[in-house]
Structure 1
Amino acid sequence: MLKINNLHAFYGKSHVLHGVGFGVEPGEIVALLGRNGSGRSTAAKAIMGLVQCEGSVVWKGQEILGRKAYEIAHLGLGYVPESRDIFPALTVHQNLMLGQKGSGKGSRWSFDDMYDMFPRLKERQHTEAGVLSGGEQQMLTLCRTLMGDPDLIIIDEPTEGLAPKIVELVGEYLQKLKARGISVLLIEQKLTIAMAISDRALVMGHGCIVFEGTPESLRADAYTRKEWLEV
């Protein structure tokens, strides 16, 4: 579905990704793990056409490297950045409306789906997004991206700064996506949630993939955890 090969990314003269390669299959949750500065967020931005890149990013058999971010999004890739990027002066419902692709007809997701999944958003649908809590804003960003009906969603640090109960809710949400056939590339630092819900785990270090395997094999690999993940 998504195949990345020999991907290099740059910020000006700074060479951040060094020949990264991995794939995501249909209906699969892949966790991309690593310490801050390892290149995980840059990998997400590279897939979405937001940084200078070289190499190959193939989506459903089509090379997308070099395309504009909005073109990539229209092909069925959703992106939830770490910064959340909600529209603070618009209501919850208006933010969700902005996420719709076209008329929204034929989408797997409706407003009711979003409100059923996160009842708190239904309660606050007429509230300006800027006054929501951090957890509510994260829910809103995830739902707004889903309204675009992506086949794969890239989520950068969805549990950052959230209370444990909300973290658990996000994990349940991601499993619901998988149940509907949506692939997930989860960029995360919290091993607990990533290991609990992912089908495969990737570990990045110094702009390279240094481990790829099942969550079980990563649990058994004390060296990789100590060298590349533990603080």
Structure 2
Amino acid sequence: MLEVRDLHAYYGKSHILQGVNFEIGDGEIVSLLGRNGVGRSTTAKAIMGDVPPNGSIVFKGEEIAGLKPHQIAQRGLGYVPENRDIFPALTARQNLLLGQKKAGKSGRWSMEDMFDLFPNLRERADVPGGVLSGGEQQMLTMCRTLMGDPDLVIVDEPTEGLAPRVVTQVGTLLEAIAARGISILLVEQKLAIALSISHRVYVMGHGRIVYEGTPDELRANEQIRREWLEV
């Protein structure tokens, strides 16, 4: 589904990504782990074209490095940014409608699906997005992305600042996404949710991948956790 090879990215003269390599298969949940500042979010932005990438990014057999973000999205790659980016003056329902790839047409996900997954969004459907709680805004952002019927979704720090109950709901949604054959790249710092739902994990350090394995293998590798993940 997605193959990233020798990916480099810069902020000015700062060399942030220094040869990142990883891949995601069909229907896989893959987590990208690491401490703050190691390049996880920059990797997501480089894949989506928000940061100029150097290297190869192949999505569904097509090289997408160098394409504009809207062109990448049109090819079926969804992105849930860390800062959520909802439209605060529009209602939750209107935000969801804006997510549709083609107006009036639903793919694998309908608005009713979104409301079934998150009943409180149904209750708050006609409330402006800016009035929603942080957890509700996170749900709305994820659901709006799904309304575009992506084949792969990059989700950047979806549980940041959320209550434990909402974190559980986010995990349930991610599993529901994968159950419909949609691949997921989860950029996450919390080990608990990443290890509980992922098929494979990558650990980043100093702008490159330093470890790849299954959740069970990472649980058993105390040295990697201590060196690259624990504070």
Normalized against structure 2, the TM-score is what? 0.99
**Pair 1:162-2:162 in alignment:** yes
1:185 aligned partner:
185
Q: Name the % identity.
A: 66
- The residue type paired with residue 102 of structure 2 is G
**Pair 1:97-2:97 in alignment:** yes
1:38-78 residue CA offsets vs partner (Å, 9 max, x unmatched): 10000000000111221100011110000000000000000
Between the aligned partners of 1:19 and 1:199, the Cα distance in structure 2 is 23
Between the aligned partners of 1:207 and 1:200, the Cα distance in structure 2 is 19
1:220 aligned partner:
220
Stretches of 4+ moved more than 4 A in 1? none
Q: Which runs of 5+ in 2 are unaligned?
A: none
Instruction: Kindly report which structure 2 residues correspond to 1:37-116, keeping only aligned pairs within 5 A, or say none.
Output: 37-105=37-105, 107-116=107-116
* Contact 2:100/2:106 (8 A) holds in 1: no
* Contact 1:108/1:149 (8 A) holds in 2: yes
1:19 aligned partner:
19
1:129 aligned partner:
129
- The residue type paired with residue 10 of structure 2 is F
1:208 aligned partner:
208
Between the aligned partners of 2:5 and 2:137, the Cα distance in structure 1 is 34
1:12 offset after TM fit, Å? 1.4
Between the aligned partners of 2:81 and 2:74, the Cα distance in structure 1 is 17
Between the aligned partners of 1:161 and 1:137, the Cα distance in structure 2 is 12
Between the aligned partners of 2:105 and 2:155, the Cα distance in structure 1 is 24
* Contact 2:47/2:53 (8 A) holds in 1: no
* Contact 1:135/1:162 (8 A) holds in 2: yes
Between the aligned partners of 1:32 and 1:212, the Cα distance in structure 2 is 10
1:33 offset after TM fit, Å? 0.3
* Contact 2:20/2:207 (8 A) holds in 1: yes
Question: Over aligned residue pairs, what C-alpha RMSD do you find?
Answer: 0.7
Q: Report how many residues are paired.
A: 231
Q: Which runs of 5+ in 1 are unaligned?
A: none
